[in-house]
Amino acid sequence: MLWRAFFCSATVAIVLRLAINFCESGKCGTFGTGGLIMFDMGIVSSDIGLMELIPVVILGLLGGFLGSLFTFINGKIVRAYSSWYTM
Domain ranges of the chain: 1-37, 48-87
Show the beta-strand stretches assigned E in 1-87.
Answer: none
Chain segment 25-66, per-residue pLDDT in tens = 666 655 555 545 555 555 556 677 778 888 999 999 999 999
Confidence at residue 77, expressed as pLDDT on a 0 to 100 scale? 94
% of the chain with per-residue pLDDT over 70: 68
List of residues 6+ apart from 22 with CB closer than 8 A = 28, 36
Q: Hey, what amino acid is at 69?
A: L
Confidence at residue 1, expressed as pLDDT on a 0 to 100 scale? 86
Q: What is the pTM of this model?
A: 0.45
